[in-house]
C-alpha cells in the first residue's frame, strides 16, 4: 500500500512511469531519467523561491517587531532587482498572469523595505520611498526606450548578487544575523541552485549560469553565517549559565 502511494506520488509529480521502473525497480541510473527528475526538482525549488522566499522574512520582522541586523542597502537592491522584471513585463504589455508571481514577490519586498525604515523611526521616509518607486516604475513603463528596459532587466541579477554581499558584510560587522530569516535564505539558496542547474542545461558555462551559481554560493554563505552565529550564541549562553 505504502509502495503504491509512493509510486503514485513520484509518477504524478516527478517522473514518467518508465523512469520509476528504471530508477527504483531496476536500480538503473538512467541518465535521461535522472536529468528529467533533477529538472523537475529544480523547477519546484524555483517556484518556491519565486513565491515564498520573501514571505518568511516579512513574517519574522512583523512577529519580532524589529528589523535589527537587516541591511537597508541590501534589501533596497533586492527591491530594485524584483522591480526590474515587473517594469519589463509592463513595458512589453505582457498579460498579468505571466508576471503576477513577480508582482507578488515585489509587494513582499516593498513591505520589508518599508518596515526596515519604519522600525528605525523613518516611517515618513519609507512612505516617500514607496511613492517614488511607484512613480519611477510608471515613468519607465511609459517613456523608457526598449533598450533601456532591456538593460534594466539584465541588471537585476547583478543587483540581487550585490544585495547578498552587502547582507553578508553587515552580518560579519555586527557579529550576528539579527532578524535575517533562515527559511528565506534557504529558499533563496534552493531557488538559485535550481535556476543555475536549468541554466547550465540550456546554455552551458555561460556568464548567466555562473552568475546564478555565484548567487547560490552567496546564499550558502548567509546560511552558514546564520548557523554559526546561532551556534556561537548558544555556546555563550551555556558558558554564562
pLDDT in tens, 121-157: 999 998 999 899 889 988 988 888 888 888 988 899 9
Residue 233 confidence (pLDDT): 63
pLDDT at 163 > cutoff 90: yes
C-alpha cell at 128: 516617500
Residue 61 confidence (pLDDT): 94
How far apart are the C-alpha atoms of 214 and 220, rounded to whole Å? Answer: 10
Mean pLDDT computed over 91-118 = 90
Residue 69 confidence (pLDDT): 93
C-alpha cell at 62: 512583523
pLDDT: which is higher, 51 or 54: 54
H-assigned helices in 53-181 = 55-64, 72-91, 96-119, 123-143, 146-174
Reported confidence tier of residue 4, pLDDT bands at 50, 70, 90: low
Reported confidence tier of residue 46, pLDDT bands at 50, 70, 90: confident
Residue 238 confidence (pLDDT): 53
Contact criterion met (CB below 8 Å) for 184 and 53: yes
| Terminal CA-CA length for the chain | 51
Treating both helix axes as pointing N-terminal to C-terminal, what angle do 96-119 and 31-52 enclose, rounded to 10 degrees?
A: 50
pLDDT: which is higher, 208 or 64: 64
Highest mean pLDDT among 34-48, 61-75, 131-145: 61-75
Reported confidence tier of residue 239, pLDDT bands at 50, 70, 90: low
Task: Express as a percent the part of the chain with pLDDT over 90.
Answer: 41
204 burial level (CB within 10 Å; 0-12, 13-18, 19+): exposed
Amino acid at each position: 500500500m505504502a509502495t503504491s502511494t509512493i509510486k503514485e506520488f513520484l509518477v504524478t509529480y516527478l517522473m514518467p512511469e518508465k523512469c520509476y521502473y528504471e530508477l527504483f525497480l531496476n536500480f538503473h541510473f538512467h541518465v535521461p531519467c535522472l536529468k528529467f527528475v533533477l529538472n523537475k526538482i529544480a523547477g519546484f525549488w524555483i517556484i518556491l523561491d519565486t513565491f515564498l522566499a520573501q514571505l518568511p522574512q516579512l513574517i519574522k520582522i512583523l512577529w519580532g517587531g524589529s528589523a535589527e541586523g537587516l541591511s537597508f542597502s541590501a534589501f533596497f537592491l533586492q527591491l530594485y532587482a524584483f522591480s526590474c522584471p515587473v517594469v519589463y513585463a509592463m513595458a512589453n504589455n505582457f498579460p498579468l498572469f505571466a508576471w503576477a508571481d513577480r508582482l507578488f514577490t515585489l509587494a513582499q519586498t516593498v513591505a520589508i523595505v518599508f518596515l526596515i525604515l519604519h522600525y528605525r523611526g523613518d516611517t515618513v521616509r519609507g512612505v516617500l520611498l514607496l511613492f517614488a518607486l511607484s512613480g519611477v516604475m510608471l515613468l519607465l513603463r511609459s517613456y523608457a526606450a526598449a533598450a533601456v528596459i532591456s538593460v534594466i532587466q539584465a541588471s537585476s541579477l547583478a543587483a540581487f548578487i550585490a544585495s547578498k554581499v552587502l547582507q553578508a558584510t553587515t552580518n560579519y560587522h555586527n557579529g550576528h544575523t539579527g532578524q535575517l530569516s533562515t527559511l528565506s535564505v534557504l529558499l533563496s539558496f534552493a531557488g538559485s541552485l535550481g535556476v543555475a542547474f536549468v541554466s547550465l542545461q540550456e546554455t552551458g558555462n555561460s556568464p548567466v549560469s555562473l552568475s546564478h551559481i555565484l548567487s547560490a554560493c552567496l546564499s550558502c554563505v548567509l546560511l552558514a553565517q546564520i548557523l554559526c552565529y546561532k551556534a556561537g550564541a548558544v555556546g555563550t549562553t551555556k558558558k554564562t549559565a
